[in-house]
């Protein structure tokens, strides 16, 4: 597999925020979001080849029980389902963060998928694969990264159109760093009728744009 980096850190997003986590960042992404903060992993050439078994051994050496596979875009690599299964078989709790444009059907059910819904401000909203929502499990999550009020309204409309609260209670909204204030987003969440959960990126608060943490 093409791997951009691996590292141990604090989980900065999702309902698992604050937990110790081992990250496997795969190289290559099929989208180019306007606010991407991991452009260094967008090209397949940014990665080095490591086998599935090798990645499981690296994760085991971290002595952490929680592993997140991220990117780039993990589902752009055909071996990702195999990696998920191997990590589960090794006893890890596995998170998979995906941009929401590629099918999640081959990912083991036990994996906790964190599925982005791309909003207009990303420039990539036409790539959302809404068929994935029918495959969500109760432990999975849908994440909306908001650039402005238009994005927030798009997120609310999507939640209602696809009856997402019936799929999962983990509907997370977070601000694009520097584009929308925390206070504004909090006010929108409080005022809306949608059961959204606001979050801030802990890793950015702690380390800014530093890599590998």
Query: Residue 168 pLDDT > 90, yes or no?
Result: yes
DSSP 64-83: -SEEEEESS-GGGSTTHHHH
Question: Within the chain, where are the H helices?
Answer: 52-61, 80-89, 149-161, 182-191, 202-207
Is the separation of the CB atoms in 27 and 47 below 8 Å? yes
Residue pLDDT, tens place only, 104-158? 999 999 999 999 999 999 999 999 999 999 999 999 999 999 999 999 999 999 9
Q: Across the chain, what does the average pLDDT equal?
A: 96
| Domains parsed from the chain with CATH numbers | 2-207 (3.20.20.70)
């Amino acid at each position: 597999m093409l791997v951009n980096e691996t590292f141990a850190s604090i989980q900065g997003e999702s309902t698992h925020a604050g937990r110790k986590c081992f990250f496997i960042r795969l190289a290559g992404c099929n989208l180019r979001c306007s606010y991407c903060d991991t452009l260094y992993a967008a090209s397949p050439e940014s990665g080095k080849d490591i086998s599935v078994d090798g990645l499981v051994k690296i994760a085991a050496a971290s002595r952490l029980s929680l592993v997140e596979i991220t990117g780039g875009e993990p589902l752009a690599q055909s071996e990702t389902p195999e990696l998920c299964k191997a990590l589960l078989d090794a006893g890890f709790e596995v998170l998979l963060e995906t941009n929401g444009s590629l099918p999640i059907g081959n990912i083991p059910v036990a994996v906790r998928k964190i599925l982005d819904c791309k909003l207009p401000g990303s420039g990539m909203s036409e790539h959302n694969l809404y068929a994935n929502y029918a495959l969500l499990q109760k432990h999975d999550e849908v994440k909306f990264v908001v650039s402005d009020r238009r994005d927030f309204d798009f997120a609310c409309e999507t939640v209602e159109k696809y009856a997402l609260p019936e799929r999962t209670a983990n509907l997370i909204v977070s601000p694009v760093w520097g584009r929308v204030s925390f206070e504004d987003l909090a006010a929108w969440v409080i005022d809306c009728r949608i059961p959204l959960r606001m979050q801030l990126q802990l890793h950015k608060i702690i380390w800014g744009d530093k890599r590998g943490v």
